[in-house]
Amino acid sequence: MGDKAHTHPGAAGRAQAADHPASVRNVVLVGHSGSGKTTLVEALALTAGAVNRAGRVEDGGTVSDYDDIEHRQQRSVQLSLVPLEWEGIKINVLDTPGYADFVGELRAGLRAADAALFVVSASDGVDGSTRMVWDECAAVGMPRAIVVTHLEAARADFEEMTRVCAEAFGGDDPDAVLPLYLPLRGPEGPDGHAPVHGLIGLLSQKLFDYSGGERKESEPGEEQLPLIEEARGRLIEGIIAESEDETLMDRYLGGEQVDVGTLIEDLERAVARGVFFPVLAAAPAAEGARQGLGTVELLELVTRGFPTPLEHATVRVTTVDGKPRELKPCDPDAPLVAEVVKTSSDPYVGRISLVRVFSGTLRADQTVHVSGHGLADRGHEDHDVDERIGALSTPFGKQQRPVSHVIAGDLACVAKLSRAETGDTLSAKDDPLLMEPWEMPDPLLPLAIQAHSKPDEDKLSQGLARLVAEDPTMRLEQNQDTHQVVLWCLGEAHADVALERLRSRYGVQVDVVPHRVSLRETFGGKAAGRGRHVKQSGGHGQFAICEIEVEPLPNGSGIEFVDKVVGGAVPRQFIPSVEKGVRAQAVKGVAAGHPLIDVRVTLLDGKAHSVDSSDAAFQTAGALALREAAADAKIHLLEPVAEVSVLVGDDYVGPVMSDLSGRRGRVLGTEQAPGGRTVIKAEVPEIEIGRYAVDLRSLSHGTARFSRSYARHEPMPPQVAERVKEEARKAS
């Protein structure tokens, strides 16, 4: 790496379909919002010749033209694919959003990639969420490298940033995180800042000057040799420590000069194995320049050091009925197995699916089987259907360039898959298979919505269905208790994008309303009630009288109805009518309009008329009796309580526990977790954690996660219950 001189390849940079998995590299860019990922993609596209000096593709548009919402919000909100070509290798660059609300897009990018570039701003450092993603990659052995951006900032310090990265990412082996190049700085300006205009190759011991707009190679001066020697020695030791040749370290320490070619080969193998993580620097090209600083070196690393799809860890594949299926890894001639990693809608083309092919070859106009995907609880129905796909294409910004086929290891866009959603598997129709789904974050921020007008109401259902089809991290709930339509999102930005897409893409205007939790009611003690329904209006009247007793039962008992009528005071045929009326009233509630639970209703006595009594009359009398009993009794409002588990860094345990207590939570205990983290378990009323997804992120600086599950309903504190009852009275 770093030994070749490169010129601008022109049209060669415009990647088409690959012809063999060995000629493909799938790379995902990871980094916090504002770290410079999209700018880096544009710089790589310029160097590879995919765009011109103005940053435009030859037939219009820019590499970052993906979504109108992104332009309005000035941030990336979805996964995007930019295919490039360098030295005969197709590089699929997957640019992911850096904002935590769009972690689902990041997970999709990790699924589709074979290696990751972690983009770190020299002026901002490494945040907690980036460290967490690094740990996820480490858990699956994904090869990684680090790119330091924003070197032009006044506070930028590449050497210090390298030390921070080694500390954050190196774990027990900081020498596995080392720079391959050092910045080449010019003279200091009036502000004392020396601009970076080139790189010093530590292995090649060459200078690469980008100040003229294109990389120029030269020999180092005397003043640079001491700096090179110190950093080079540490880099060589780091590479040799990961070498598969166990004798190499002893020979090196014994004074033997190791050939540069051997070091580069060992470096490439160590990077591909995910045991050595080089640090590079990059910056966008100056106006009129052909190459951005460090972009050639970065493209070299990707093409020569990152693994091919042939080395991708095998994803578990089964038949649709769950039987394991063994497939040869990444074989274009094997049975088809592809996965939808992203779904989007185009106003002219319709639904477009970004697909990673793991096995076999996908061809245009082919009929495939769509299987998936285990997210029915989020409003995503499982699929088991055949579909004929439309055109295949490789994207570039808003453009789609047609291709005839896509081989194993490559990515492409598929048009007109009307049933397939993100996470679904595409396979041969005569050999349907299913890939093990990747982990999706659970949406925990509720957004209650209602149609703004009658025309919006007519379009709302279809718009919501299309919205959740694109985003598996979103859950759609039709709450039967509160009668609310609720979109569960990952955060406020995620919710904002959902509303904007409903409005601009699907033409549905909605209003956000306060989210309500599913409350319950129960009796605080024994009570008696008499239901009298007597009416005479000519002809047959209505006559039914019943007397009941109500008493509370233990939590989880439901509604129990007991018949203790003696002497036929209520005819046997009307006993079920009374019970039906009682249960119907219990569903409606007796105090604040919430369902009544955990009581025993005993029918003690009543009266009937031989002509005027009827099923309907005794149903009404049963309901009236329950309401009268409630009027003279103490009614408890019951609120749902959630079991909450918070995974948080040890530094934030105290603030998180204090915050939970302030939400009327009961902390049940803590457990130590790997990586200096703690799991806090607590029970918290659901009414207190509606915005916890947002508040916890702020409290922990984006490093904590939590999960929740329903535990039970229990009585509200009297002051809270009175407030809810008063609100119910005002609304009625």
Per residue in 549-561, pLDDT (tens digit) is 999 999 889 999 9
Residue 57 scores a pLDDT above 60: no
Count of C-beta atoms within a 10 Å radius of residue 554: 6
Interacting residues of 537 by C-beta distance below 8 A, sequence separation 6+: none
Output the 3-class SS for 478-516.
ECCCCCCEEEEECCHHHHHHHHHHHHHCCCCCEEEECCC
* Beta strand extents in 360-421 (DSSP E only): 361-363, 367-372, 383-388, 392-396, 399-403, 405-407, 411-415
The residue with tokens 């302030």 is 662
State phi, psi for 467 to the nearest 5 degrees.
-65, -50
Q: How many Å apart are CA 59 and CA 63, to the nearest integer?
A: 12
Count of C-beta atoms within a 10 Å radius of residue 272: 18
The residue with tokens 């504002």 is 34
* Rounded to 5°, angle at Cα 609 from 608 and 615: 65
Cα atoms found within 13 Å of the Cα of residue 565, Cβ hemisphere only: 24
Q: Which amino acid is at 654?
A: G
Q: How many Å apart are CA 164 and CA 126, to the nearest integer?
A: 8
Q: What is the pLDDT of residue 379?
A: 57
For residue range 389-448, list pLDDT tens digits in order: 988 998 876 678 899 999 999 999 998 888 888 889 999 999 999 998 888 888 999 999
Can you tell me whether residue 269 is helix, strand or coil?
A: helix
Q: How many Å apart are CA 125 and CA 133, to the nearest integer?
A: 15
Q: What is the pLDDT of residue 375?
A: 64
Q: What is the pLDDT of residue 189?
A: 65
**What's the mean pLDDT in 583-612?**
93
End-to-end CA distance of the chain: 74
Mean confidence (pLDDT) of the chain: 88
Buried b (16+ CB within 10 A) or exposed e, 650-689: eebbeebbebbeeebbebeeeeeeeeebbbbebbbbbbbb
Q: How many Å apart are CA 137 and CA 109, to the nearest integer?
A: 12
**What's the mean pLDDT in 702-723?**
91
**What's the mean pLDDT in 560-569?**
93
Q: Locate 423 and state its tokens.
A: 């996470």
Q: Which residues pair with 522 in a beta bridge?
A: 636
Domains, the chain, with CATH or none = 10-311 (3.40.50.300), 317-435 (2.40.30.10), 445-513 (3.30.70.870), 520-633 (3.30.230.10), 637-731 (3.30.70.240)
What confidence category does residue 6 fall into, taking pLDDT thresholds of 50, 70 and 90?
very low
331 versus 676: which is more confidently predicted? 331
Q: What is the pLDDT of residue 64?
A: 54
Helix (H) or strand (E) holding 680: strand 677-685
Q: How many Å apart are CA 641 and CA 677, to the nearest integer?
A: 25
Q: Which amino acid is at 689?
A: I
Residue 122 scores a pLDDT above 80: yes
How far apart, in Å, are the Cα atoms of 210 and each of 182, 217, 278? 14, 9, 21
How far apart, in Å, are the Cα atoms of 98 and each of 122, 175, 471? 16, 27, 17
Q: How many Å apart are CA 280 and CA 295, to the nearest integer?
A: 9
Strands 425-428 and 337-346: antiparallel
State phi, psi for 371 to the nearest 5 degrees.
-125, 145
Q: What is the pLDDT of residue 259?
A: 87
Q: Locate 306 and state its tokens.
A: 């990152």
415 versus 286: which is more confidently predicted? 415
Q: What is the pLDDT of residue 146?
A: 96
- Give which of 530, 501, 148 is closest to 343, Cα–Cα: 501
Residue 149 scores a pLDDT above 90: yes
Whole-structure pTM value: 0.85
Residue 455 scores a pLDDT above 50: yes
Count of C-beta atoms within a 10 Å radius of residue 255: 6
The DSSP string of 560-585 is EEEE---TTSS-GGGHHHHHHHHHHH
Residue 53 scores a pLDDT above 90: no
Which range among 121-130, 142-151, 379-388, 630-639 shows the weakest confidence by mean pLDDT? 379-388
Which range among 71-85, 204-218, 689-703 shows the weakest confidence by mean pLDDT? 71-85
For residue range 183-208, list pLDDT tens digits in order: 988 777 666 667 888 999 999 999 99
What confidence category does residue 581 fall into, taking pLDDT thresholds of 50, 70 and 90?
very high
Q: What is the pLDDT of residue 60?
A: 47
Residue percentage of the chain with pLDDT more than 90:
59
**What's the mean pLDDT in 363-374?**
87
Q: What is the pLDDT of residue 9?
A: 43
- Give which of 121, 143, 118, 114 is closest to 131, Cα–Cα: 118
CB 373 within 8 A of CB 380: yes
Residue 648 scores a pLDDT above 90: yes
Count of C-beta atoms within a 10 Å radius of residue 33: 17
**What's the mean pLDDT in 222-244?**
89
Q: How many Å apart are CA 239 and CA 224, to the nearest integer?
A: 22
For residue range 322-340, list pLDDT tens digits in order: 899 988 889 999 999 999 9
Residue 374 scores a pLDDT above 50: yes
Residue 68 scores a pLDDT above 70: no
CB 605 within 8 A of CB 565: yes
What confidence category does residue 607 fall into, taking pLDDT thresholds of 50, 70 and 90?
very high
**What's the mean pLDDT in 90-111?**
90
Bond prior to 373 in cis (omega within 30° of 0) = yes
For residue range 484-508, list pLDDT tens digits in order: 999 999 999 999 999 999 998 889 9
What confidence category does residue 652 fall into, taking pLDDT thresholds of 50, 70 and 90?
very high
How far apart, in Å, are the Cα atoms of 631 and each of 40, 163, 524, 528? 69, 71, 12, 10
364 versus 194: which is more confidently predicted? 364
CB 75 within 8 A of CB 99: yes
Q: What is the pLDDT of residue 4?
A: 46
Strands 115-121 and 405-407: unpaired
